[in-house]
Structure 1
Amino acid sequence: MSARQVLVAALLALAALFVAWFAPQPSARVAVAVFALPPVLLAAVALRGSRKAAFWAGVFALGWFSHGVMVAWSRPGERGYAIAEIVLALVIILAGNLPGLRARFARKR
């Protein structure tokens, strides 16, 4: 599985997590649009082969990571969702940066 495929899968999994997490709430449409739409759009752009999508996914993932840590710390009832968000954010950061890390640390021939 390539880094791009892992990135797209993690972004779509994060969007599905946000839908499951926020759908039962009263303002579900707004919450789903604000939280689930960006990962879906980034996944679509990444599927087209854009390198900028991986960069922006990493930038957004830093925010998702921070959000997950904050929720895990402050709302025990939502801790499971928050930990899943943290793990997916870390996968997104790693998958987005993996091609650059491979190029940087590859053995020179």
Structure 2
Amino acid sequence: MTALIYIAAALAEIGGCFAFWVWLRLGKSVWWIVPGTASLLLFAYLLTLVPSDAAGRAFAAYGGVYIVASLAWLWAVEGVRPDRWDVAGAALCLAGAAVILLGPRTA
């Protein structure tokens, strides 16, 4: 369930940020900020659903998922294929996220 929450949060965050990018960098209508803001609010809410004893740990682990989702967005939406360095970096980040999420904790 945590993986699904992180994936949904990543899509919401990237979509929200992209809406602002479209408005500010591509010169599109200011109305792009309406769905962008809603998407960013959804992102923040979704991260509160992650079962974690600390917000910082949930956010840190999310970072690896965000990086992979950003590269998927790069390819699917922007039409730029990630290169081997992108893929290697994303794999390292996912490994780090797994250590943060799954590492044994002492009380």
Report the TM-score when normalising by structure 2: 0.40
Which structure carries more relative contact order (alpha carbon 8 Å, separation 6+)?
1
User: Which has more helix, going by share of residues?
Assistant: 1
Report the TM-score when normalising by structure 1: 0.39
